[in-house]
Amino acid sequence: MQKILIVEDDKAISSVLQSILSDELPDYEFVSAEDGLDGLKQVEKDDFALVISDIKMPKVSGTEFLKQALQVKPDLTFVMISGHGDIDTAVACLKDGAYDFISKPIDINRLITSVRNALDKRNLVKHNQVLNVENSTLKKKVNKKYQMIGSSPALKKIQEMIEKVATSDARVLITGPNGAGKELVAHAIHAQSDRSKGPMIEVNCAAIPSELIESELFGHVKGSFTGAIKDKQGKFELATNGTIFLDEIGDMSLVAQAKVLRALQESKVSPVGSDKEVKVDVRVIAATNKNMQKEIEAGKFREDLYHRLSVIEIYVPPLDERKEDIKLLVEHFSKVISDEHGTALKTFDENAIKALEGFSWTGNIRELRNVVERLIILGSNPISETDVASFVRK
Ligand SMILES: Nc1ncnc2c1ncn2[C@@H]1O[C@H](COP(=O)(O)OP(=O)(O)OP(=O)(O)O)[C@@H](O)[C@H]1O
């Protein structure tokens, strides 16, 4: 039960206050102190949701008590009670950090309102603190999820590029084979940029039918086509002040490419069925596993759009070109997977790692992660070369 401290040298007033307030606030426990010195002792040893304190008291006055108590517990909420003609001191208490004051003779309704408001404010502040902690824990978790592991020169170069481009709003095209880590790079850029407070909206261009992509990206108004039963915001608008990640951009139809090009040229989007244009402040990151030069030569990708998207190009090489990352990746996945499964951590012995380094990883890091998961479930501890031979068919 949360507690409220009443500091008042007049015992009669103290008990009247307590009886009125405990009727109004049955969820709180009331504690009393008879002067500032006693109040300070209570504050030091206990936590209070609120302190109601008289100003004129023997030994340590209410003003002094307020200052000293706030030094010990800066978050404490105070409502002061001032005697007749004591208004200046009461106002000084507000400057020193009290939430409110009530003048004697006490108007009961005014007292109850002030106490309720003080408690509401304090609860809001506490709730906010909890949300802030949750928020930063979640952010840390998300950032951990998008941590890039590896010590190869190729990975270091990628990390340096990410650091450099994150601070700008330049468009980035990430290329490389499936499962190599392109999405991870996109998340790392967003997380390290000033836009990290804003959203990161992902669109898998290959997964959306070409007739729906315009509405998906730019939104639509009700009735603009069969099935458009209400207005819908597009991903570009949803990504305002953040980042839009256009994954598998190489698979986008030429019609959709023309529309994306217009949006990039003008920084404006127009929902399907609407003649109004919406200004969007969005950073664009795109990724593809296709060879864009070949796609352009084959007439499948617009060259002008390619140049708009690839102000900076980051190439994520296949795992086979950076096998020195395998050991660190295996150790990392092993930790992540045992955490996910809630099982004890399994290690890989040197020969098991060597065997894994000897394979060709056409599915890249995604494939390696799956193999580590399989070995953790089926293999011994530590996982040996024999486990690799038994459970990995290559
Ligand atoms: N350097 C890395 N460190 C840790 N995990 C990684 C790394 N690179 C990739 N991964 C993990 O490998 C998996 C595949 O990565 P990701 O989805 O980023 O690849 P991709 O290139 O976008 O693949 P696709 O082209 O198929 O979409 C993910 O689980 C990702 O977290």
- Please indicate, yes or no, whether residues 266 and 163 belong to a single structural domain of this protein: yes
Residues 229 and 244 placed together within one structural domain of the fold? yes
279: in domain: yes
For residue 309, the domain's CATH number is 3.40.50.300
Q: What is the CA radius of gyration of the chain?
A: 32
| Residue 183, both tokens | 């999405």
Of all protein residues, whose CA lies closest to atom 16 belonging to ligand 1? 181
> Do both 258 and 334 map to the same domain?
no
pLDDT at site 142: 67
CA 286 / ligand 1 centre spacing (Å) = 15
Six-digit token string for 94: 């507000």
CA of 59 to the centre of ligand 1 (A): 68
Q: Indicate if 163 and 305 belong to the same structural domain.
A: yes
- Quote the ligand 1 centre to 343 CA distance (angstroms): 24
Domain C-terminal end among 273, 288, 317 = 317
Q: Considering the domain boundaries, does residue 242 fall inside one? A: yes
In a domain, 109, yes or no: yes
- Ligand 1 atom nearest the C-alpha of 247 is 27
> 278, 299, 317 — which closes off a domain?
317
Q: What is the pLDDT of residue 228?
A: 81
Domain-embedded: residue 134: no
305 and 334, same domain (yes or no): no
Domain carrying residue 172: 149-317
Domain-located, residue 142: no
92 and 119, same structural domain? yes
Would you say the C-alpha torsion 222, 225, 229, 233 has a positive or negative sign? negative
How confident is the model at residue 115, as a pLDDT?
A: 96
Residues 313, 324, single domain; the answer is: no
Provide the pLDDT for residue 277. 87
Q: Residue ranges of the chain with pLDDT lower than 50?
A: none
Which H/E stretch holds residue 329? helix 326-341
Q: Which atom of ligand 1 is nearest to the CA of 174?
A: 21
Which uninterrupted H or E stretch holds 90? helix 87-96
Nearest-CA residue for ligand 1 atom 24 is: 178
Ligand 1 pocket test, pick from 161, 182, 184 with the greatest ligand atom count within 8 Å of Cβ, gives 184
CA angle 355/358/360 to nearest 5° reads 125
Pair 195, 346: CB distance under 8 Å = no
Q: The domain spanning residue 339 has which CATH number?
A: 1.10.8.60
Nearest residue (CA) to ligand 1, atom 25: 178
Tokens of 209: 């039918």
Q: Is 357 within the bounds of a domain?
A: yes
CA of 364 to the centre of ligand 1 (A): 8
Query: Does 307 share its domain with 341?
Result: no
What does each C-alpha distance from 288 to 205, 252, 367 come to in angstroms? 10, 10, 18
Q: Are residues 206 and 266 in the same domain?
A: yes
Report the distance separating Cα 206 and Cα 209, nearest Å.
8
Contact 81/52 with Cβ under 8 angstroms? yes
Closest ligand 1 atom to residue 150 Cα is 1
Judge if 115 and 242 occupy the same domain: no
- Predicted confidence at residue 110, as pLDDT, reads 93
Residue of minimum CA distance from atom 9 in ligand 1: 181
Q: How many domains does the chain have?
A: 3
| CATH assignment of the domain containing 74 | 3.40.50.2300
The answer to whether residue 56 is domain-embedded is yes
- Measure 132 CA to ligand 1 centroid, in angstroms: 29
Half-sphere exposure of 362 (CA within 13 A, CB side): 1
Helices (H), 204-273: 210-218, 235-238, 254-266
Whether the model pTM is above 0.80: no
Q: Given the CA of residue 289, which atom of ligand 1 is nearest to it?
A: 25
Lining ligand 1 with CB less than 6 A are 148-150, 176, 178-184, 289, 329, 332, 365-366, 369
CB–CB of 112/82 below 8 Å?
no
Residues 88 and 163 in one domain: no
Residue 138 inside a domain? The answer is no
Residues 280, 171 share a domain = yes
**Distance of CA 361 from the midpoint of ligand 1 (Å):** 13
Length in residues, the chain: 394
Which DSSP helix (H) or strand (E) runs through 288?
Answer: strand 283-288
Q: What value, to the nearest 5°, has the Cα angle with vertex 255 and ends 254 and 259?
A: 110
Q: Whose CA is nearest to atom 23 of ligand 1?
A: 179
